[in-house]
Structures are given as structure tokens and as C-alpha cells.
Structure 1
């Protein structure tokens, strides 16, 4: 039973702004009372209980900051209680206490997430030191998490919000706009010739161009508008309540402002050119349709000539061309599904950065067109999703990988990508289970990868899928982390084994301090959640060594090896 709560509100010597709550869990009345008294002296509001079961019930009803817990108790022990609370959205800090002052118990506690370890009988100096260190570590983790979340929402070069955050805010704006209200509009601004500037004057010059363009655009938007760096050389703006004619006028003004920027690069006077594409929102229009229309308009503007502006209209023929391309791809996919020999799997090694050995391979789908040229895999997947074939493609990929995994060298495993739309397919689940059983495959050799966006699209379906497959012994990786929703709650909720940092954070790692901060933060956060970090796009030794120094477990990229088919 509970011994009650201390009502006195004192503070620790480092003057925390408010009293923190603590729970003492111990079946010994003497140790329970001693722990309570010491924590009260440190400024905690303390509750005590006599068992792990009682503590678990209390922790389910209220938030506790710190748990001082005996390891060995009748019924639920301290380590079991620690494990049971790790699934909570904001679990408490655990400090474990035991009569057994040995390394085995200490290591077991710390590996399972405890913030500290104390030997009994408790002594005030040791307790105060351990609590102070635990609070400091917790504060550091919270700061790292906030920094990582900020960096995940922000473009590190320009300081503007990134595509994911722009899309999130835009979706909320569209949702909140009444059906009879004046429409808003999206305008995409592409800096023409940025690749030429990068090649001629260096990437730092291209970065300077983007920073100055971002600064000028920031002066042209109202507080109610949105502005983001949408991709490498494209900025996105959203204007509230602007009709079609005014959007075109606004686009002309923006083009003139950007093109008026005069810069000197390596002694050369350089002026900018832009291409703009826009689209006005209509009643009940979703974010995907609006952005697609703006993107189509930008595509048309780029096709015509430089310095062109295009505002989407229903008369645009881009839909027909896009549909024609998709239908051609669709025919290739259907033919390949009828003859799986046309579907080729290439395998790229993922390297343990400590040992230098191959950990496993990522399987990558390759499809060739009628002329033998490789198709764009992203476009193939997009077409399959649009026309409802993605489930069949995922199944074909899984089958090919399971058939070939035994041929991978040194008993290594394979990471198989799955699309978000296949996750809720119970037939795919059953197909995976049946195939692995029929082929007698060691499930620990199989890793499934989900992109961040796909993983968070339908949490309940993904949770069910992950639990079902992990019950077989397979593992999961969260791919492309940092470019989507980047929610640490979902990472913990879905119990992934690996977190793959998006290559955009790795490509310029040695030259970009912000990328370095992000990677370091993600390594620390992943360690808290028990995930191993994989870095993509590792292209050189300097990057590989820097990642190893940061504590990143695995690397993948052309530095280690290109995707290759298995030898015949």
C-alpha cells in the first residue's frame, strides 16, 4: 500500500524551477523510509509503494519524474517494472537500488534504460550525486530531442521551414478554410541554372545564391503567408485569399525581385533567372492535388523557356502527358509481373562501421523499359500505387528476396522495402509468413524497411503489421528519417530496430555543422530508444570516419559498394 505523499516542496542545490515528483518502490520498510526521506531533502514530492505491481498501477494513473526502485522484490521485480514503463509516452527516470553491489546488476539496469544504479543501504551523498547526474542527463536528452525536431522542420541552409513542415501547415490551412471563403494559392519558384552555378563556382556559391533568394522572398510575404525551401532549387509560397489574376501579378513581381539580385561570384557578376508555377486552391481541394497542380504548372513553365510564369488552368495538357507516361510504365510493370524474370533485384551492402564487415544488404528493385534502359524506380512505385498494383509488386519483391537470401554471402541478411499502401494488406502478411516457412528461412536475416511517411500514415495498421512480423523474428528499419513527420513518439510506439537517416543529412556532413548536430542528436536519441542508426549516401572515407566517431552503427553508399545483382 502507499505510504502517502510528502507535502513539503523544497528544491535541490541547482535550483530547479519547480518540485519534481518521485516514487520509491521497495518491499523493505526501512529502505523505503530512508529513500523517501533522502529524496524529500533533495526537493522531491515523494510517494512510496511496496511492490512493482503497485508501482505500475500508480504510474499508469499519474506522471512521476523519478523512480527509485529496488531490483529484487517479490512478484514484479525492478527490472520488469522498468521494462513495463518504457512504452509510456513520457516514462520516468529510473534509479535502481540493490543489496547486490556487482557489475552484472549495474550493467543490466543501465542497458534496460535506467539512469543510475545504487548499492544498499542508501547513502545521501551517493544518492544526491546519482540524482543530479540523472536530471542533467535527462535535460540534455530533452534539449537534443528539441534540437533534432527543430532541425527536422527547418531547412538548415536558409532557415526557412522545409517541405515537410510547409506541407503540414498547408494541409491545416486548407482544412480550416471554409468552403465559401476566397481561395488561397501555391506558387513554386525555381532558381534557374543553380546546377551551372554549383559546377562553375562551387557549391558554396550556390548556397550563397539560395540564401540571398530566401532572404529576398522573406521580404515579399505577409505574416499570413507561408514560405519554405521546397527542394534543392525550389521555394514554395502559399498566399491566403488570392484569386487567379492576382496570383499571376504576384508571380511577376516576385520574378522581378529575384532577378534584380546582383551577386559577384569569384569576380564575375551573376544575375539570376527564375521559373514559376502556381495553382489556386478550389473548394474541398486537398494538399496533394494543389501541390501537384502547382508542380505541373512549373513543369510547363520550364518546358517553354527561361523566365516563364505559368498558373495552372484546366486546359493544361500536362495531365494527358503525365497519364500517357504512367500508362507506358503500367504496361511494363504488368508485363514484368507476368514474367518475373523482367524484375531484377540489385543488392547494396550495409557496413558495420566499427568492424568494417557487411552487416546486411538492401534489396533494390530494377525494371527496364522496352529499349533496355533502367526505369526510374520512384516513378514505377508511384504508378503502381495510382493503379493499385503496388501490392502485387511488393509481393513479387518479397518473393524474389526470399528466394535469393540464401545466396547472399556469409549468411548475411536482406532489407526489403515495402510501400505504405501494402502495410494494411492482410494477404501480404500471410504471404510473408507462408513463404518464410516454406523456404525455411532464418527470420533474423530478414529486415523490412518502411519510409517515415509510410510508417506514420496509418498508425494502427502499421503497429499491427510490425508486431505480427516481429513475432516471426524479423526486424524493421525506419527509412528516410528526417524528411517526413519525424515524430519520436511514433518511433517508440512502433518498436523499430534500425533508424536510417535520410541521405540529405549525410551528403555534405563534413562541411555542414548543422547536419553534424542533427546526426549527433539522432544518435543520442536512437540510443535512448534502443535503435541502431544507419547512414545513407556515404560517398567518401571522411564521411564514414566522421559517422563512426559520432557513434553511427552502420553506413550505406557508393563508398562501400554500388547496388549489384547477385552473381549467376
Structure 2
């Protein structure tokens, strides 16, 4: 070892004749040791006394003397590093890492410090440790917190595998590497098939034990360089390096067998689990992270639909890529239009059958392209709803509608909301905030809910309707007759207006059964105290039949095309 005073004589910042290893160790609060386990002799680096706070290094010149400084509750951890293993590799040795507390001033001292001890030991002829070399560093609370954060940020707490964020980052890095060094790889999505049954029967904690064991078994069957991470509650993603379609099938069978062939020991007893696997070849079938994930999930869905445990390799659907590109373009356009305030309203009148005048206007949404062209809602709203953008659209529509109501005190407006908005408390809060709770505005607003949305979760819809009516708004059921809502449900919903689906109106002049159906609906609605609106009114003869049947309002191109909200002129 070096001169005990060398670390005080040298300045690592001005050293010019090579690296000052002692100085470097001191600067990061580390020291090193060399331990002969046969003789017990323990030799320390020259800075050990200063780093550990030990007055005299001769007091810890043997393994037994150093162990006397280790906290009793931690001593077993350190001893087990050198006693629990037998090795034959006398070249590389066996790595170890352990943390514990020591009392530099001796066993009776109150002062303790936490250290991390890591290194390698080498075996003797009998395979047991004979010689060890290691590094000890001081571990502060800040360091421990940083380590906890690193683990939390990188790994899933339950399974110890990469979390979803790090898994997708790893997949992105692999795709980037493939661009530089072309090779075939695979991305697998694995799900535990019977997890829901296990959770329901034995509880979530037993389900967690099952997930952790499945992850361990799959991990044990991976090759060096392959990557596994937890994608969601019961799904794992696996990146298989240098792996073509045939090798993917072989690997998948290996994983299926590892989980299927033996029971899983849990706190509730021995349980059985199976998995299904979907895979995609990259970059042949996917050259972007989102595509790789989506295609693997589709293949997984196909696997789960076939039998109890199965592997399916993704197969592109003819024309599927075109649809995906179109949907992605629509989503990007919608988000851009929302960000740039390019959503517009047009107003379609609902004409009173008694007065022949427009008394209500329905707000229809249009998306303005950067070139000024307007796109109807039918071209983007269905895709937006599938991609979860409908809440953002509904929020913007609400803002535009309330602005119009404030600008024109004589205007009565109706607007449609999606199914997601019926459970969106923030939309309700936004309605109250935008109107300042003013009854003169809220009373001129009609909220339309489609019939199919209303019956998906009747209790939720009832709560939504009741809240709106407490505010002073009216509520309409849109497209009535297209679904299966009974008038009993309409009564439970306590709506104010029934809008009859246009499919029953467009052939009214020539279809006697449609006339009977509409007459029946109008009479029933009147019995429940509800106003009626006929949609898709397109000719004078239909107007005549509807008026004779007792309709309250009519809406359709017979009364003209929708007008831009900016063109509305107040009658006041």
C-alpha cells in the first residue's frame, strides 16, 4: 500500500505524473482494501483512516477487527457475502455488493456511518473465498434517496423489470441502432391470461405474486442482451435482439412452456397460470415505436382469442396502413386546429311548427384548415372519439357556444356532447365557470345526448341530466329511435326534448309505416311532457305530415343550409 501521508502531499488537480488514484478515491469519499481471508490480514489504502473516521488503521488490520465495528444487525449481511457461495472461477472472481453501518469509534461509540462495500472475491482449492479486494464508499442519505429514485424511475416495483417508460425508450434505442446497423429484431407483447380470475378469487396480492413469478420465469429464459419490461398490469414487453420470425416462434414456445409446465407457489397455495404472446418483426413490419407496440398488441389480441395459451406473429391487414395513416393525419389536424383556435360553429335552425320561425339553433362543429376550407364534423369526430379526443372537442365547442349566448341575448342554442363528456366533471365545472352560473344564459342552452350514449350507463346519464337541469339547462335525446331506449327510460332521464332520428323522416312522404311510427312517438312524448323535433326534413310534403302529426320543431335542409355563427344577426 502507499505512504499513509501521500494523500495529503498530493494535489489531484495539479498532479502531472499520472493519475492520483488515492486523491480520486478521497474526492468521492471512497477507500480500498485487500483482504487475505486465510490469514485474516486486512490491508487498507492510505486514505482509509480519513474516509472511515478511524483513528488508527492498525485497529482494523484484520477482518475480525473490522467486523467488530459493523452494527450487529448488519454483520450477518456482510459475512454472508463470503460464506454463502462456492466458486471455481479463479481468474475473474465473484462480484459482491453490500451496505451496512459501522461505528468508527468502536462498538461503544454513538457515531455511526453507512457504507457501501463492493468488490470481488477469489476462491481457494475448495471453492470457498480465499482472497478479496474491494472498495468502500460513504453512503449519505442524499445518495440513498438518489438510488431509490433511480430504481423507481427505471424499474417496475412489483416485478423488478423495466417500467413502461424505460421499455419504450429501450425499444426506441434499438430501432435507432437498426438504422445504423441493419438487423432483424423482434418485439413481443405477453399477457397473463387468467389474472382477472386469480384477482377475483384470491385477491390482488396473490395476483401480484403471480405476475412477479411469471416475469421471473420469462426473464430466466431470455438470452443475453434481450430486454424485458412491464408494459401494463398484466402485460410484458420483450425486445429480442437479432431475432427473425422463426427464432421468435422458438423463443415464444420457450416462454409459454416455462409458465405452463409447473405451478406457481403463492401465499394462497399452488396456482397455475398461462400466457399468450403476440409479436412483430422490426424493422420489417414496424419501424417506429408506436407501430411496434400497436402491432404487437394486435397480434396479442389474436393470440388470446384462439386458445388458452398461444403465440401469434403479426400479419399486416391489406389497406390497414392506409387507414392508420389517415387516422393519424386526422388526429394531428384536430389537435392542431384546437391549439390554433380553428374550430368553428355553424348554426342549423329548428323551426317551430306553429310559428314557422327558427326558435332554436343547433351548434354544428366545423374544423377550419390552414387554407380556410371548412371540414364537417362527420369527417373527423368519429376518429377523434376513437382516439380519446372527444373531450377536448366538447370543451372547445362549449366555449364557443357560451360565447355566442353571451353575445346574443335572444339566441337559444343546442349542442351535442359525446359519451365521455357525460362522465366528465370538468366539463360540468367549465359550463358553470363560463356562464358564471347566470340563469339567463343557462336557460337558453340545450344539451343533446345521443340515445345510444344515454343507455350505455343509464345511472351515469341520469346524474349528468339532473345536474344540467339543476343549472337551468334543458336536455334533449338525439337520434331517438336509432337505439333501444324505451319511453320508460326517457321518463327516468327526465329529458325535455326528443329528437326523432332522421331515418324515419327522410321517406315520410312515401312510407306509411314511418308516418305511423312518428305519430306514435309524438303522442307518447306529449304524454310525458316532452317537446319533439324531427330531423332531416327535406321537402314540403314531409313538413305537412309532421305538422299534422303534432310535431313541435322541424330541422333539415328544407329550411336552408347551416349559417356561420359569425353571420347570425340578433333579432333583439
Q: Which bracket does the TM-score occupy, shorter chain normalised? A: 0.3 to 0.5
Q: Which protein has the larger Cα radius of gyration, Structure 1 or Structure 2?
A: 2
With normalisation by structure 2, the TM-score equals 0.43
Higher RCO (CA 8 Å, separation ≥ 6 residues): 1
